[in-house]
Chain A
């Protein structure tokens, strides 16, 4: 890409969510959302093959519709209350429209259909940006309006997302689609807890960003995009293959790893609020996600010698070691012992 164009795209990609986070006025928040949507669009469409164009069209249509819905909800709120403050969104209609629009933007369960397909059509780096940095602005809007949001609606969205995120990834051979469904499931956990404790939701979001970044960097480094290609990944970087299994278990939320921390705290908070049924359902639904993470780990480990692989060896490119993969992998494995520190920091 042209260096000027890529500089402008990168700058506005960074600026857009930052404008939304730091804004106090609905127009400015909407401006930030629009800037980030318009900036990521050329990045998705950069490779001019039909799949990239299709992914761009799907992404653009959903995001544009969601941002118009956000603006219309704020206009309705301004008509009834006469002000544009984000934190004082107390009209019920506009709150419901806003929640729906942000669910479309994030890819929550009844509106999730665009996310796996868009991730499948892009490169791994763009998919990483889409699943981490682009979620920041809508989630920050949800945190800012958290006093006036409708709790049963959010609980329904969260439960459905956890269900769909686990269910959709079960029969999926493509790694990026699996990561999309894992992203939907994690967002479901975040949305469930958001009205009870926004701090906990932020903690979940940070750990989710760390684990997803580590996993996407790993996928990019190993150049695998299907589960069956994982079978030969141990021949490239054996140590990294072992660490990848740990990261996958951390995404699934198994105890000695980082991913257990948000799930543990969320279940504790839900139990404190006397929502035993929802806590039980969330815990059981995360088993579905555990199944497909285990399937990836199985394919990555089970074909070590003396067994023979039933997948062809890939062509070996010269791999550049990513310097930020090591801290991300370390953080996504070992953060559980400092949970109290993290809770006081937030």
Chain B
């Protein structure tokens, strides 16, 4: 395992641990999602550089645009939850568990 792979994998694992274990605010969850996406952006841009396949150079941009869409959706959900629930605490989302 090269240092690049190790750094990508550790960044991804740390951010998914943050997503699944640190469950206080919605904004921190969204930040963890975004950091997962960014670590994957690094991995996707490393792949064509290492293998020198120029046809794959555009895929990180495609992935980044989709992750931007996801971040936008997440932030709009943040606004919606602060309008309906009054805050972005994830503990407030307990209306549906009956």
Closest partner residue, chain A, to B90 (CB atom): A57
Chain A residues within an 8 Å CB radius of B37:
68
Binary CB contact string for chain A from 95 to 139 against chain B (1 if under 8 A, 0 otherwise):
000000000000000000000011011000000000000000000
Q: B43: which A residues are within 8 A, CB to CB? A: 72, 75
Judged by a CB distance under 8 angstroms, whether A50 is at the interface is yes
Q: Does A58 contact B (CB under 8 A)?
A: yes
In the assembled complex, which residues on chain B have CB atoms less than 8 Å from the CB atom of A120?
96, 98
CB pair A50–B69 under 8 Å, yes or no, is no
Q: Which range holds the interface residue count of chain B?
A: 20 to 34
Residue A174, interface by CB 8 Å: yes
| Complex partner residue of A53 from B62, B69, B80, CB under 8 angstroms | B80
Q: Which residues 40-69 of B sit at the A interface, judged by CB distance below 8 A?
A: 40, 43-44, 47, 51, 59, 62-63, 66, 69
Among B19, B44, B51, B96, which residue has its beta carbon within 8 angstroms of that of A117? B96
Contact in complex: B47, A54 (CB < 8 Å): no
Q: B residues within 8 A CB of A54?
A: 81, 84-85, 93, 95-96
Kindly list chain B residues whose C-beta atoms are within 8 Å of the C-beta of A55: 96
Question: Given the known A-B contacts A61-B29, A117-B97, are A38 and B84 also in contact in the complex, defined by CB atoms under 8 Å?
Answer: no
* B73 touching A121, Cβ below 8 Å: no
Q: Range of interface residues on chain A?
A: 20 to 34
Q: Is A51 an interface residue (CB 8 A)?
A: yes
Interface residue? A49 (CB, 8 A): yes
Q: Does A64 make an interface contact (CB < 8 A)?
A: yes
A34 proximal to B (CB < 8 A): yes
Q: Is B22 an interface residue (CB 8 A)?
A: no
CA distance A49 to B96 in the complex (A): 12
Chain B residues whose CB sits within 8 angstroms of the CB of A69 once the complex forms: 16
Within 8 A of B (CB), among A153-185: 174
**A41 within 8 A of partner (CB):** yes
A56 touches B40 (CB 8 A): no
Whether the pair B73, A38 counts as a contact (CB closer than 8 A) is yes
Are A27 and B40 interface neighbours, CB within 8 A? Answer: no
A79 touches B47 (CB 8 A): yes
Shortest beta-carbon distance, A151 to chain B, in Å?
26
Contact for A72 among B40, B70, B93, CB less than 8 A: B40
Interface hub of B12, B44, B80 (most chain A Cβ within 10 A): B80
A100 → chain B closest CB, angstroms: 11
| Contact between B73 and A60, CB atoms less than 8 A apart | yes
Is the CB–CB distance between B40 and A68 below 8 Å? yes
B95 & A50 in contact (Cβ 8 Å cutoff): yes
Q: Are A75 and B19 in contact (CB under 8 A)?
A: no
Known: A68-B33, A71-B40, A75-B44. A34 touches B70 (CB 8 A): yes
Contact B80 A56 (CB under 8 A): yes
A31:B62 contact, CB within 8 angstroms: yes
Pairwise interchain contact B96-A79, C-beta atoms closer than 8 A = no
- Please tell me if A65 contacts chain B, counting CB pairs below 8 Å: yes
Residues of B within 8 A of A (CB): 5, 12, 16, 19-20, 26, 29, 33, 36-37, 40, 43-44, 47, 51, 59, 62-63, 66, 69-70, 73-74, 77, 80-81, 83-85, 93, 95-98
What are 5 A-B interface contacts by the 8 Å CB criterion?
Answer: A41-B77, A53-B80, A54-B84, A65-B33, A120-B98
Question: Can you name 19 extra interface pairs (CB under 8 A) apart from A56-B80, A64-B70?
Answer: A31-B62, A34-B69, A34-B70, A41-B77, A53-B80, A53-B84, A54-B81, A54-B95, A57-B77, A61-B29, A61-B33, A65-B16, A65-B19, A68-B40, A72-B12, A72-B36, A117-B96, A118-B96, A120-B98
